[in-house]
Chain A
Amino acid sequence: MTSDDPRPPPRRSFFAALGPNELKGLFWQVLVVGIALAVIVFLWSNTVANLSARRITTGFAFLGREAGMPIADSLLAYSPGDSYLWAFVVGVANTLRVAVIGIVIATILGTLIGISRLSANWLLSRLAAVYVEVLRDIPLLLQLLFWYVLMQGLPAARAAWRPVDGVFLSNRGLILPAIPIGVPQLWVLGTAGLGFIAFLAIRRWLVAQQMRDGTPRPAWPLALGLIVMLPAAVSLLLGVSWTIEWPQLRGFNFVGGLTLAPEYFALLIALVTYTSAFIAEIVRSGIQSVPRGQWDAASALGLRRSFMLRQIILPQALRVIVPPMTSQYLNLTKNSSLAVAIGYQDVVSVANTTLNQTGQAIEAISLIMAVFLTISLGISLFMNWYNARIALAER
């Protein structure tokens, strides 16, 4: 462009005038990071000033002090004389206890309901649809309070309901017959676990063999031997007793058996029913995503229904099912923190009590965050591994 060019230079915005794209990018980044840093410094300096004004010392030293809070229902041994650190560990164990069992039951229930929604039986599919619709559209916390009120409305221990012999439902919770698990029983269960791992490894090899020569090699005798017979032999050899302990009513409470406290039971029911409604929808859409041609092709090959479902339909449906399922598992775990509303002492509840007792707000909340981020990361890693395993092998 020469100086005697009559046209005026094109109008450019301020940011465009700043120069090449890199410079512009740098400008934005510096601006945003600067604002973020300024906000953080502002909040941090306020916090430090406030804490010193309130004479609260920061740091995790308080974890060693005596907690003095009661935890009624816990998996691990705990007494109010234990430290805050141990109270936290007990809280984490309680969170995991409800989350892990909840995930397993919700997956089973949700799958059954999702399949029921696709049933040829009109009544069954309608009922499943109503279940999903009602549970999804009511807040979980409301459902939790509802279940908890129902639990509290149950008769006292002396007049407990007995749906089945040995099972009691009362305002003390659900009491089930149980087998006491000690060290000898753990040995047997450990053997069964090892047997299962060995079975998986051998089956893998068998499948590889079948891929090579086409001869099917049934794996079930191996499963029977490794998972059932071997532990049974160990059990006989060690003379482990497997007597069932039946709960008995003594005075105003039950002795023996396994007790699910009303808080735990209500939380478990609420989490399982709520999450299963979402899982049902995921399973339904997963199965529906398998093209009709796959069903037709499989039946044209004359495959048995169970084989067809297991080998053709399910592997394809799982690819659609697994990613959203992961987020449901994460939701269930995070939702277990609603326990604080009914007094089940999970990690959030313990942290909240700690916070009220010690005033260590930042530490307590960062512990909650650390615990949940770790659990979330664990579930995500596991599900990503599983997802990669079942993903379509592109050729």
Chain B
Amino acid sequence: MTAIIDMPDLPRTARRPQISNPVLRWLRTNLFSSIPNGILTIVLLAVLAKGVISFVQWGIANAVWLTPANDSSACKAVRGLGACWAIIPEKYRFVLFGTYPFDEQWRPALAVALFIMLFYLSTRRALWRRELAFLWIGALVLISVLMWGGVFGLSFVSQDRWGGLPVTLILATSGLAFGFPLGVLVALGRRSKLPAIRSLSVLYVELIRGVPLVSLLFMASVMFPLFMPSGFNIDKLLRAQIAIILFAGAYLAEVIRGGLQAVPRGQYEAADALGLSYWRKHRLVVLPQAIRHVIPPLVNTFIAFFKDTSLVLIIGIFDLLTTAKTAIIDPAWQQFSVEVYIFVAAIYFVFCFAMSRYSRGLEATSGR
């Protein structure tokens, strides 16, 4: 373990004879700098080659790419030897959009496009101003209209027919949109000088963070009907959404609290000296600075609960993972779940990877 740590500026590298060929020099410094390092490189190359070759054999060479509709015999013939990518063209509409009426599926597709556009615009530093909030409200209204319909000649689609990627995006984005103001209030509450408010905030944050999200979701699906007056009931998706908002609120509150702590005392004092009230002080002076400090961790928290929305599978809500799992119940395609999981994993990966690259980029620039 000690030999492989990169220690900056080893003097012995300077003593080496200079190699003029840049490729060889790169190989020498990065792969064969010492004998153990060279052996390590060769072993790793061998393992990597073996892995890549068997994956290419399974995933490309022996794979079945297309079959006639609903006919998995070609796939069954190569089972164990090659991948059955043919299941993706067969099932992708169901995996992406669930049981949404087939002819209307352009609507959830458009909603997904709107979500991606919204995320993209929110990453632009030039647009970080009050108007962004209106953009969010506008986009969310537009998405609701698209998904539900019932106006402008769109047929009404009840939310128990929604499914797939739009549901995942709705759960995560609304979790952020509603959890964020909640998180701000709780973070302020936790730093408040008023003991009752502070202890209520601490209780909320610690209780939510102390238990797994699964148990909150169970609570939403089982206990919520008990909590409400008899006869009053709300949809399962909305109940899960409430659980995710409460969950997100607690985690976001902790991140925002970190940002509040990073604002120098002088800023608070200056705001007080100007005679600003508590709310104006926070709205105009403290929060803008605090939130700017914590945008990278906020993005990371968002990535975390974007992934965590997949837990709604356990209470039977049709998000992207649940539709994937349901798609392979079909007896003809039952054996090819690995391919579907890889497809869904790729979708999650693209979203999370893009966001984590963005957050890292922010961290790098904010240090300057």
Q: A25-B194, A32-B197, A305-B3 are in contact. Are A365 and B214 (CB under 8 A)?
A: no
- Provide the bound-state CA to CA distance between A352 and B219, in Å: 10
Taking the closest CB of chain B, its distance from the CB of A390, in whole angstroms, is 19
- Residue in chain B with minimal CB distance to A371: B211
User: Provided the pairs A33-B200, A137-B352, A139-B321 are in contact, do residues A28 and B194 lie with their beta carbons within 8 angstroms?
Assistant: yes
Min Cβ gap A244→B in Å is 29
B18 within 8 A of A: no
Contact with B along A282-306 (1 / 0, CB 8 A): 0000010000100110010000011
Distance in Å: Cβ of A22 to nearest Cβ of chain B: 10
Q: Point out the residue from A29, A139, A295, A361 that lies within 8 Å of B222, measured CB to CB.
A: A361
Quick one: given A142-B341, A145-B325, A341-B313, are A348 and B226 in contact (CB under 8 Å)? no
Query: B215 touching A49 by the CB < 8 A rule?
Result: no
Decide yes or no whether A319 CB sits under 8 A from chain B.
Answer: no
A13 to B8, CA, bound (A): 61
B356 and A136 contacting across the interface, CB-CB below 8 Å: yes
A309 close to B5 (CB less than 8 A): yes
Residue of A nearest to B168 (CB): A139
- What is the CB-to-nearest-CB distance from A376 to chain B, in angstroms, rounded to a whole number? 5
User: Residues of A contacting B213 with CB < 8 Å?
Assistant: 334
Verify A373–B211 contact, CB threshold 8 A: yes
Whether B210 is near chain A, meaning CB under 8 Å from some CB there, is: yes
* Contact between chains at A138 and B307 (CB < 8 Å): yes
Q: Does A202 lie at the interface of the complex (its beta carbon under 8 Å from any beta carbon of B)?
A: no
When distances are taken between beta carbons in the complex, the residues of chain B under 8 Å from A15 are 277
Question: Is A240 an interface position by the 8 A CB rule?
Answer: no
Query: A305 and B2 in contact (CB under 8 A), knowing A49-B230, A134-B349, A341-B313?
Result: yes
How far does the alpha carbon of A256 sit from the alpha carbon of B298 in the complex, in Å? 51
Q: Which one, B30, B218, B225, B229, contacts A121 given CB within 8 A?
A: B30
CB pair A146–B345 under 8 Å, yes or no, is yes
Q: Given A127-B48, A146-B338, are A361 and B223 also a contact pair (CB < 8 Å)?
A: yes
The stretch of A83-91, A112-120, A174-182, A217-225 in contact with B is A112-120
A118 to B1, CA, bound (A): 11
Distance between Cα atoms of A338 and B211 in the complex (Å): 12
Determine the chain A residues whose CB is within 8 A of the CB of B7 once the complex forms: 295, 299, 305
Instruction: List, in ascending order, chain A residues with CB within 8 A of B8's CB.
Output: 292, 295-296
Known contacts A46-B226, A361-B223, A133 near B353 by CB under 8 Å: yes
B residues 219-240 touching A (CB-CB < 8 Å) = 219, 222-223, 225-230
Smallest CB gap from A365: residue in B:
B219
Highest count of chain B CB atoms <10 Å: which of A133, A149, A335: A149
Asked if A123 and B310 make an inter-chain contact with CB atoms under 8 angstroms apart, the answer reads: no
**A124 CB–B CB distance under 8 Å:** yes
Q: Does residue B182 face the partner (Cβ distance < 8 Å to A)?
A: no
Q: Contact at A124–B30, with CB atoms within 8 Å? A: no
A121 touches B228 (CB 8 A): no
Question: Is there a chain A Cβ closer than 8 Å to B268's Cβ?
Answer: no
Kindly specify which of B37-45, B103-111, B257-265 makes contact with the partner chain: B37-45
Q: How many whole Å from B250's CB to the nearest CB in chain A? A: 13
Which of A123, A287, A299, A305 meets B31, CB within 8 Å? A123
Most buried by B among A51, A125, A143, A340: A340
Q: B226 to A50, Cβ gap below 8 A?
A: yes
B349 contact set on A, CB distance < 8 A: 134, 137-138
Indicate if A140 sits at the interface (CB-CB under 8 A).
yes
Given the interface contacts A25-B193, A47-B227, does A334 sit within 8 Å of B212 by beta carbon?
yes
Q: Which residues of chain B (174-208) have a CB below 8 Å from chain A?
A: 189, 193-197, 200, 207
Known: A121-B30, A127-B44, A306-B2. A372 touches B226 (CB 8 A): no
A149→B341 contact, CB < 8 A:
yes
Measured CA separation A230–B207 after assembly (Å): 47
A352-395: CB near B (< 8 Å → 1, else 0) gives 10010000011001001100110011000000000000000000
| B6 CB within 8 Å of chain A | yes
Smallest distance from the beta carbon of A124 to chain B beta carbons, Å? 6
Is B37 a contact partner of A13 (Cβ separation < 8 A)?
Answer: no
From the candidates A120, A134, A334, name the one contacting B4 in the complex (CB within 8 A): A120
Q: Is A150 among interface residues, defined by CB-CB distance under 8 A? A: yes
Q: Are the C-beta atoms of A361 and B226 separated by less than 8 Å? A: yes
In the complex, the answer to whether B218 meets A355 with C-beta atoms within 8 Å is yes
Chain A CB within 8 A of B337 CB = yes
Chain B neighbourhood of A316, CB < 8 A: none
Of A46, A122, A141, which one neighbours B310 at CB under 8 angstroms? A141
Residues of B within 8 A of A352 (CB): 218
Check B210–A372 contact: CB distance below 8 A.
yes
Taking the closest CB of chain A, its distance from the CB of B3, in whole angstroms, is 7
Provide the residues of chain B in CB contact with A33, threshold 8 Å.
196-197, 200
Could you name 5 residue pairs across A and B whose Cβ atoms are closer than 8 Å?
A: A142-B310, A146-B338, A295-B7, A305-B7, A338-B311
Interface residues of A (CB under 8 A from B): 13, 15-16, 25, 28-29, 32-33, 36, 43, 46-47, 49-51, 53, 112, 115-116, 118-125, 127, 133-134, 136-143, 145-146, 149-150, 153, 287, 292, 295-296, 299, 305-306, 309, 334-335, 337-338, 340-341, 348, 351-352, 355, 361-362, 365, 368-369, 372-373, 376-377
Given A120-B6, A138-B352, A365-B223, 4 other A-B residues pairs in contact with their CB atoms under 8 A = A47-B226, A119-B6, A137-B356, A373-B207
